[in-house]
Amino acid sequence: MIDFHVHLDLYPDPEMIVKEIAKRGMYVLSVTTTPSAWKGTSALATSGSRIRTALGLHPQIAHERVGELPLFDLHLRETMYVGEIGLDGGPEFKQHWQAQVKVFDHILNACSLAGGRIMSIHSRRAASAVLDRLAAVPGAGTPILHWFSGGKRDLHRAITLGCWFSVGPAMLVSEKARELVRDMPRDRVLTETDGPFAQIGGKPAKPWDASGAIAQLAELWGGVTEEETQRLMHANLRHLVATATGREKSEQEHQ
Ligand code: MN
């Protein structure tokens, strides 16, 4: 099972969550909201674990943490994964739009200079602006649009730009989201939860709640069983990581 966007450091007892992740053999992308959270959060992913930590600066707090960009640049060499980053066009965050764009552009350029990263991206009410920035910095890496909620036109533009998507059970409650998922390329989708922010049954989502998305994906896509969908998610993850690290290329050269 895979949870490719979860905030492990924001659970009241992250160690307990980490233990359960290990017990279940889950693959997890542990995203952060500030560069200053990087050190403590990456320490949760002990050696041998299937948890990978992403270095982030969340758009909703970009205006408060813009001063942490040098710290972002400092840690960037330590990880292949960046997130949570992006833009938020919601009315409560729109007043800090300029700071958001400054932070997001800085990060995309830093990723590009570093040779590209796997990026977990927030695009609430800002899908077309996020896609504009991604298009402007194609070397930034592989974007994974988390909880994508843009329009159909944005979705198709995102697909053309090479974006991936992470989809969770909380997102799939919405009929509009389910309609979008039907159009997503199956070989560029991963499961997520966005816990503990996202709620499932009135409670903060746990990483293993990602399993709830599998049955729904199988149903929305049609013609695939849950087991096949689960296997597809693992194949997608392997492909994503292999492509991003360039291993795939060298493997092909050996064949
Ligand atoms: Mn999130």
| Residue 52, helix vs strand vs coil | strand
Match 């009410």 to its residue by tokens.
Answer: 125
What is the whole-number distance in angstroms between the Cα of residue 14 and the centre of ligand 1?
16
What is the whole-number distance in angstroms between the Cα of residue 254 and the centre of ligand 1?
39
What is the whole-number distance in angstroms between the Cα of residue 226 and the centre of ligand 1?
25
What is the whole-number distance in angstroms between the Cα of residue 118 and the centre of ligand 1?
15
- Residue 103 corresponds to which tokens in the numbers above? 């932070």
pLDDT at 248: 38
What pTM was computed for the model? Answer: 0.95
The span from the first CA to the last CA of the chain, in angstroms, equals 30
Residue 19 CB partners (closer than 8 Å, separation 6+): none
What is the whole-number distance in angstroms between the Cα of residue 210 and the centre of ligand 1?
14
Residue 175 has pLDDT above 70, yes or no: yes
As a whole number of angstroms, the distance between CA 227 and CA 39 comes to 36
In tens, the pLDDT along 109-159 reads: 999 999 999 999 999 999 999 999 999 999 999 999 999 999 999 999 999
What is the whole-number distance in angstroms between the Cα of residue 64 and the centre of ligand 1?
17
Match 């492909």 to its residue by tokens.
Answer: 239
What is the whole-number distance in angstroms between the Cα of residue 31 and the centre of ligand 1?
7
Say if residue 13 is exposed, middle or buried (CB neighbours under 10 Å; 0-12, 13-18, 19+). exposed
